[in-house]
Structure 1
């Protein structure tokens, strides 16, 4: 059994070579890679089998499987395929890159205590991997003298949810413990959950079981480019993501983790973002606006009215419907 299983939900072939190179250069070598090919016509599988990526395909302990042809379900299917088969698991997105000391640094962080996940800092880049900017961290982390900073549930909720600020980052820059990975978010059946933004939902759920540990080194890059999912939000999945902070804030308030004023702040910001993104011509988003206008003065009433709306929105798309929680595993290609 390897120490780490690396899961790559692969769709975009444009940057995959750099992603694989980042893994091949890791100084900590006790890991295996499962790549789930979601590309049209299994194009990535053909490229790997033809030797397009050169030595990378042979340097890595790499297994290629056929993906479900849906980004959210591809993440979920990989987690299901891994099924706890290593002490740690890493969801490496196909357009991001990790630096050579990434795994060594994350394992060192986990060795300092019991954590649901380790999270390192990342540089933001554009089409290439040259850093453009970093992401600010809250004072409790930024001003710590420690390299490895534990973050408990109270701290994470207070610094993330009211301002709708994902300062933690994306899955690429986390290494989950097997215990923590059990909190990977699934579509809810009968009530609100932290399912929405998958990375946000994961950390807010997992931190309730065990703290996060923040590694205050920049150990990778988050690539922003025109073809990434967050640039194409006018879809069913995009609506779910766009409204997810309201779901998160209402549930956090219901659980006593943030204040009434915090929820108002989060809802105000989220509504503004939806207005910018969708305007007033989207029927689903307009219903969302109507619920907040009708019930926003009373959070108990808003929660009661919003819950069936949210569950219905999730059920409208096969990738977010509760039935999507069980995925069929495809056989390995290579």
Structure 2
């Protein structure tokens, strides 16, 4: 295997919002085996005792990782969303492309090479590759994200998808077939959405990854790479496994926000937007029926289904206030 550091081609900076040190050796192995290594790897160490900094900045790892151009900054210790923003601030738009790599996920050897080639094949706001699921030990499971038939039936490796196509394929079903930040590489002009998840004055906190790709596609299309280039590790520490947590509440309601954005932009028709908003509210009712914080949203279901004029205005006001607390 020939390992190259990106030279005159588009450069990718990898930023790692780090707080789960038990997966560090796997993360480093996936970075070291890349056919093209990123320009720089920035860790934002959010642990209380700076576990990542102590490991990465001292031998033997410091010497072993000399070719990886590692930088470590102290994290803000204010939660996952704040650490994402901190990572991106440390990057400071120093390269054309940026990749937010979660510290428990894993990349296959051609990840950066394929994403770089995809970005160089046209003007794209983001590139998104397929990925597998894996268990806590990194064993790939016999399952992956199920993509829509319109995408699965296309034979090419790189598929250009614009906003008018992407919104209807994602939002009405409230289904994430795109994945997460670990299998996405953002152009610098689109990366701001990851740090500040809002579009047209409507926040999409809770679905920062999917929402950023969707909203970025309004400016420039995305490139979908029809190849599995990594895996998403499932384990009890993940926010998505804490079913009654605030991040999950935000994610459920954010589908409604994306429906409103899509409708206002003319990217979703009336039926699609109504279906998505209703699904979001019904998911909230199913999971959080006894939750006082979610009750105002659940109480809006009859008015939303009846399409009462004030229902959408009330929902937006409720959502803006709720998201502002995140």
Normalised to the residue count of structure 1, the TM-score between the two structures is 0.87
Of Structure 1 and Structure 2, which has the larger fraction of its residues in strand?
2
Matching of residue 237 in structure 1 with residue 235 in structure 2: no
Matching of residue 4 in structure 1 with residue 23 in structure 2: no
Distance in 1, Cα, partners of 2:199 & 2:183: 29
Contact kept, 8 Å, 1:162 with 1:265, in 2: the verdict is yes
The equivalent position to 1:42 in structure 2, one of 17, 39, 50, is 50
Matching of residue 308 in structure 1 with residue 321 in structure 2: no
Distance in 1, Cα, partners of 2:100 & 2:308: 35
Contact kept, 8 Å, 1:249 with 1:263, in 2: the verdict is yes
Tell me the secondary structure at the aligned position of residue 183 of structure 1: helix
Distance in 2, Cα, partners of 1:249 & 1:29: 37
Tell me the secondary structure at the aligned position of residue 179 of structure 1: coil
Matching of residue 28 in structure 1 with residue 29 in structure 2: no
Distance in 1, Cα, partners of 2:54 & 2:191: 30
The equivalent position to 2:225 in structure 1, one of 191, 194, 215, is 215
Measured after TM superposition, the shift of residue 307 of structure 1 is 1.6
The number of aligned residues is 316
Distance in 1, Cα, partners of 2:183 & 2:199: 29
Q: Deviations over 1:205-244 (max 9, x none)?
A: 1101111001111110111111111112423333222211
Q: Deviations over 1:105-145 (max 9, x none)?
A: 11111111100111111011111222211112122221112
The equivalent position to 1:152 in structure 2, one of 157, 162, 166, is 162
Extract unaligned runs of 5+ from structure 1: 321-334
Runs of 4+ in 1 over 6 A off after TM superposition: none
Normalised to the residue count of structure 2, the TM-score between the two structures is 0.90
Distance in 1, Cα, partners of 2:200 & 2:125: 26
Q: Deviations over 1:27-57 (max 9, x none)?
A: 1135210000112322222233454757654
Measured after TM superposition, the shift of residue 14 of structure 1 is 1.5
Tell me the secondary structure at the aligned position of residue 154 of structure 2: coil
Measured after TM superposition, the shift of residue 308 of structure 1 is 1.5
Contact kept, 8 Å, 1:194 with 1:205, in 2: the verdict is no
Tell me the secondary structure at the aligned position of residue 127 of structure 1: coil
Extract unaligned runs of 5+ from structure 2: 1-5
Contact kept, 8 Å, 2:206 with 2:247, in 1: the verdict is no
Matching of residue 16 in structure 1 with residue 48 in structure 2: no
Distance in 1, Cα, partners of 2:137 & 2:160: 32
* Most deviating of 9-18 and 194-203: 194-203
Distance in 2, Cα, partners of 1:153 & 1:225: 33
Measured after TM superposition, the shift of residue 267 of structure 1 is 3.0
The equivalent position to 2:116 in structure 1, one of 100, 107, 129, is 107
Alignment of 1:1-334 (within 5 A): 3-51=11-59, 53=61, 56-69=64-77, 70-132=79-141, 133-184=143-194, 186=196, 188=198, 191-278=201-288, 280-298=289-307, 300-316=309-325, 320=326
Tell me the secondary structure at the aligned position of residue 109 of structure 1: helix
Measured after TM superposition, the shift of residue 271 of structure 1 is 3.0
Tell me the secondary structure at the aligned position of residue 202 of structure 2: coil
